[in-house]
Every structure is written in C-alpha cells, then in structure tokens.
C-alpha cells in the first residue's frame, strides 16, 4: 500500500462522528447539579419510606413488621465495618468478579467480533453458543464443582460464564449492524482485512461492546453472590447467607446494601470508561429546563 493511500486511510472516529451528526454541547453546570440532587432525594425518600414502614410495624399485604429498621441496619453496618472480616469479604468478592469479568470481556469481545465477521466461525461456534446461552450460570454450579479442584476456581468460572454471553451477543450484533459503506470505503482506498478491522469494525462496534460490558458486570454480580452462597467460604454473598442462617436480619440487609453499592460502583466505572472511549460519538443533547 502506497504512502499516499496510508495517509488517506488515517480516518479516525472524529470524522465519522462529524458525518453522522453534530456532537451536542455538554450540559450546563446547574442542570448537572439539579440532576444529582434529584437522584439523591430519591434515595433519601426511599430510605425514609423504609424507616416509616418498618418502624411503625406496618402490615399490609406485605409484612414490613418482620424487616429490620434503617437504624438497626445502620448499627449492624457500623459493627461489621469495624471488623477485619468485612474487608476480607469485600476483597474476595472483588477479586472473583474482576477475574471472571475480565476474562469474559476479553474472550467475549474476541468471539463476538469473530462471530460477526467470519461465516465459518459462526457456523462452527455459533450453534454451541446458542445452545449454552439460555442455561442460567448458577445452574452450572454442580458442573463447576466437578470440573475444578477448588471452590475458588469454580466461582470464577461461574462469574465468567454469566458475564460472557451478554458481552459476546452485544458485540456480535454491533459488528453485524455496522454500515457496509464504511468497509467499502476503506477497501476502495486500498485497505485490507486488518485495516477494516482496526479502522471500522472495532471503533464502530464500541457502543455495543460497552453496552454488553455494562449488562455483563451486573449479571456477573448476581451470579458470583449466588455462587458464594452455595459453595463459597468468604465473600459478601457467603456472609449474607451466614447472617440469614443465624437469623441476623440486620446483617442480611447489610449484605444486600453492600452488594448493591459494589454493583453500582463497578457498573458506573464501566459506563464511565465507555463514555471516555467513545467521546467521538455524537450525544443526545439534554435540554435544561
């Protein structure tokens, strides 16, 4: 490929974004803070309702009088935060989720691109993924116990399986949905298969990839906690189940809240990374009222 052609092929995301739309202006600072205030108010209102229903022993169709109050849960949280076990559980769950999710992201994106681009790979590997995809990851706990010599590897495997399929499917659909005009343009300029892959397929499929990563991290948390409850020795899920077995309901709610905060934090990190990587994409402008 000539030097002139190579220069002409230097088409980055910015020109593509300019072709499909005009990037919107960032929201004004007042609108951002107003949005954050509304979100915080919604959380505080939910906590207030929880305290009202449990503190007054409200019994409607749902028996709120059997649940711990906000103050009881906060006392249990303060007690657990002061122990070393709480941080050991946090660290163990994070190691499991990051390991399983990291493997799922790497393999899921790779196979998703291959399924979207290669007819032979789709014919060979595609039917296997479609047969395995409907099986809940938590249902393979007995298989993981048989396959791996220790519980730790089995839990990571379950987490990997849970996150893999959303990532793979989203990547595959994103690759297949790319306009053929982009690929034709690169080939017309003299680009080969690798040029199409690096300059069209990977940048163009990034929104779909990060959509799958966002879903995958949430599903991974569901399954890692469930696996910890069944066969774990440490972890937030294991500790939550232990609290239930000894009728420590405030401890159960501490585990639930901890899982929610961890899931929200990791999902927000994935979405933030996705926004950083796809800054060249046009955004839907949010009009401040």
Same domain, 238 and 252: yes
Asked, for residue 91, whether it belongs to a domain, the answer is yes
Give the tens place of pLDDT for each residue, 143-190: 888 888 888 888 999 999 999 999 999 999 999 888 888 777 877 777
In degrees and rounded to multiples of 5, residue 69 shows phi and psi of -80, 170
One domain, residues 50 and 161: no
pLDDT digits (tens, 9 = 90+) for 81-125: 989 999 999 999 999 999 999 999 999 999 999 998 889 999 999
CA distances 123 to 115, 118, 127, 128, Å, are 9, 9, 7, 9
83 shares a domain with 62: no
Task: Answer yes or no: is 40 within a domain.
Answer: yes
Please name every residue paired with 63 in a beta bridge, in sequence order, or none if there are none.
59
Q: CA-CA distance, 116 to 197, in Å (whole number)? A: 11
In a domain? residue 203: yes
- Cα angle 156, 158, 164; round to 5: 100
Same domain, 32 and 161: no
**Does one domain contain both 152 and 34?**
no
φ and ψ at residue 111, rounded to 5 degrees:
-70, -30
Are residues 277 and 206 in contact, defined by beta-carbon separation less than 8 angstroms?
yes
Contact (Cβ atoms closer than 8 angstroms) between residue 203 and residue 16? yes
Range of the domain at 32: 13-67
Task: Give bridge partners of residue 59 from the DSSP assignment.
Answer: 63
Do 53 and 38 share a structural domain? yes
Same domain, 151 and 85: yes
Report the alpha-carbon distance of residue 240 to residue 7 in Å, rounded. Answer: 58
Do 216 and 158 share a structural domain? yes
- Computed from CA positions of residues 257, 263, 264, 265, in that sequence, does the dihedral angle turn out positive or negative? positive
Number of folded domains that form the chain: 2
> CA-based angle 51:52:58, to the nearest 5?
115
Q: Domain ends where: 67, 95, 129?
A: 67
Cα 204 off chain centre by:
20
Question: What rounded mean pLDDT belongs to the chain?
Answer: 83
pLDDT tens digits along 46-84: 999 999 988 888 888 888 888 899 999 999 999 999 899
Same domain, 53 and 77: no
- DSSP symbol at 148: S
Task: Write down the pTM of the prediction.
Answer: 0.79
Task: Examine the domain organization and report whether 241 and 173 are in the same domain.
Answer: yes
CATH number at residue 263: 1.10.3720.10
Residue 2 lies in a domain: no
The answer to the question of residue 90 being in a domain is yes
Residues 88 and 122 in one domain: yes
63 and 79 inside one domain = no
Confidence of residue 204 (pLDDT cuts 50, 70, 90): confident
In whole angstroms, give the CA distance from residue 93 to residue 267: 15
């Amino acid at each position: 490929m000539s030097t002139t052609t190579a220069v002409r092929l230097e088409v980055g995301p910015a020109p593509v974004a300019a072709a499909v739309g005009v990037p919107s202006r960032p929201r004004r600072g007042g609108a951002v803070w107003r949005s954050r205030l509304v979100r915080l108010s919604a959380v505080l209102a939910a906590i207030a309702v929880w305290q009202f229903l449990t503190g007054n022993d409200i019994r409607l169709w749902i028996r709120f009088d059997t649940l711990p109050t906000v103050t009881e849960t906060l006392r249990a949280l303060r007690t657990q935060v002061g122990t070393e076990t709480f941080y050991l559980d946090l660290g163990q769950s994070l190691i499991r989720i990051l390991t399983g999710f990291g493997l799922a992201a790497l393999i899921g994106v790779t196979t998703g691109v291959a399924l979207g681009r290669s007819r032979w790979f789709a014919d060979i590997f595609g039917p296997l993924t479609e047969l395995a995809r409907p099986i809940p990851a938590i249902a393979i706990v007995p298989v993981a116990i048989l396959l791996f010599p220790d519980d730790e590897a089995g839990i990571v495997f379950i987490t990997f399986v849970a996150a893999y399929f959303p990532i793979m499917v989203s990547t595959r659909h994103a690759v297949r949905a790319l306009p053929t005009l982009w690929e034709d343009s690169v080939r017309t300029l003299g680009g080969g298969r690798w040029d199409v892959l690096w300059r069209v397929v990977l940048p163009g499929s990034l929104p779909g990839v990060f959509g799958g990563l966002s879903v995958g991290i949430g599903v991974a948390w569901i399954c890692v906690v469930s696996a910890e409850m069944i066969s774990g020795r440490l972890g937030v899920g294991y500790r939550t189940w232990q609290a239930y077995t000894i009728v420590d309901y405030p401890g159960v709610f501490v585990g639930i809240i901890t899982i929610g905060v961890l899931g929200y934090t990791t999902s927000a990190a994935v979405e933030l990374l996705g926004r950083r990587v796809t800054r060249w994409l046009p955004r839907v402008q949010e009009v401040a009222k």
